[in-house]
Amino acid sequence: MRASVDDETSTVMVSLPTSCLDAPEWVRVRVGAYAAESTAADPTDLEILADDAHRRGDVRKAGVTLGPKVRRG
């Protein structure tokens, strides 16, 4: 797997050889970031938030969705 970051365009590129995935014709990818918040009153009571790269809008309390099929080539 290779990854690169372009600070000027705020872009991250990740590549993974298809041989690592048993050479599928296509894949679907989840892209996003998670954060956890807790209160001082109960640090074990966590609220999990997700920022989904496939959706527009605010950070939400839902998981990250699968994107469209990405084909080889």
Cβ atoms 62, 30 nearer than 8 A? no
Spatial distance between the Cα atoms of 70 and 5, rounded to a whole number of angstroms = 21
For residue range 44-66, list pLDDT tens digits in order: 888 887 788 777 766 666 677 88
d(CA 7, CA 33): 17
C-beta of residue 61 within 8 angstroms of C-beta of residue 50? yes
Mean pLDDT, the chain, integer: 82
Query: What global pTM score does this model have?
Result: 0.53
Percent of the chain's residues with pLDDT above 70: 89
Inter-CA distances, 61 with 10, 15, 30, 73, Å: 24, 28, 16, 35
